[in-house]
Homo-oligomer: A and B are copies of this chain.
Amino acid sequence: MTPSVEFWFEFASTYSHVAAQRIEAVARAAGVPIVWRPFLLGPIFRQQGWNDSPFNLYPAKGAYMWKDLERQCAKHGVPFRKPSQFPRPSLLATRIALTLESSPERIGEFVRRVYLANFHDDADTTSNDVVRGVLQSMALPDGDAVLEQATSTQTKERLRARSEEAFARGVFGAPTFLIGDELYWGNDRLEDALAYCVGVRSS
Contacts and interface: CB of A to CB of B under 8 A. Distances in A.
Interface of A: 48, 58, 60-61, 63-64, 67-68, 71, 75, 170-173, 183-185, 188-189, 192
Contacts of A171: 60
Contact of A61 (B68, B75, B173): B173
Contact of A172 (B64, B67, B71, B172): B64
A63 B185 contact: no
A170 B64 contact: yes
A55 to B, nearest CB: 11
Contacts of A170: 60, 63-64
Contacts of A172: 58, 60-61, 64
A58 to B, nearest CB: 6
A75 B71 CA distance: 24
A171 B75 CA distance: 23
Given A61-B172, A64-B185, A75-B192, 10 more contacts: A58-B172, A60-B170, A60-B171, A60-B172, A61-B173, A63-B170, A64-B170, A64-B172, A64-B183, A68-B185
